[in-house]
Amino acid sequence: MSLSDDRSLTTNVFVRPFLGQYYHDPLQNIQHQATVAVGAGHYIYDRPHLQWQIFGGPAYQYTKFDTTEAGQSREDSRAAIVLQSSYDKKLTSRLDLMLQYQGILTSKDAGLYIQHAIGSLEFKLTHTLDLDLSLICDRTAQPQANSSGHVPKRDDFQVVLSLGVQF
C-alpha cells in the first residue's frame, strides 16, 4: 500500500513532500514494513499519451520481522534512499502499458537493496470496466533469516489478472 502527494514546481520538476508505504510479506519473513520519504522528481515526458517520471529522496524505514535467529533483533529502523520511475503509455484507444520501478537502499539487516517492479497492460472493456494483466517482481538483496535459520528466496514473481471499475 502506498500514498503520496506530488506538487509541481515547474512543468518538468515536482516535489513529493510525503511518500508513505506499508508492506507485509510473511514469505519474506516481513511482519510489518513502513517507509516514509520526501524528495523531488522530474517529468521526462508529460504528454496526453505518454507520461514518464523519476523520483528520488531520503527515507526512513522501519521493519519488524516475523521471526529471527537467536541473538538477532526482530526490528530494524534505519535511514534509506528511495528511487522510483513510473512510465505510462497509451498504446491504442483501449490499451495502456504501465511500468513502475522502486528501489530502496537500506541497511544490510533490513535487506540492503529492496526492488519492486510492476509491468501492466490495462485493457478498457467498457467506459467503466478495465481488465488488467500485471507481472510483479520483488527482489531483496539480503533477506533476513527466520528463527529456524531459513533464508527466504531473494526473488518473488507474481502474475495478476484483475478487473477494475473506474468511476
Specify the CATH number for the domain of residue 94.
2.40.160.40
Cα–Cα distances in Å, from 5 out to 12, 39, 40, 41, 108? 16, 11, 11, 12, 29
Q: What is the pLDDT of residue 97?
A: 97
Percentage, residues of the chain above pLDDT 90: 64
Q: What is the mean pLDDT of residues 61-76?
A: 82
Prediction pTM value = 0.87
Q: Grid coordinates in use for 14?
A: 515536482
Domain containing 114 equals: 2-165
pLDDT band at residue 30, thresholds of 50, 70 and 90? Answer: confident
Domain count, the chain: 1
Contact status, residue 57 vs residue 40, Cβ threshold 8 Å: yes
Q: What is the pLDDT of residue 84?
A: 97
Q: What is the pLDDT of residue 17?
A: 96
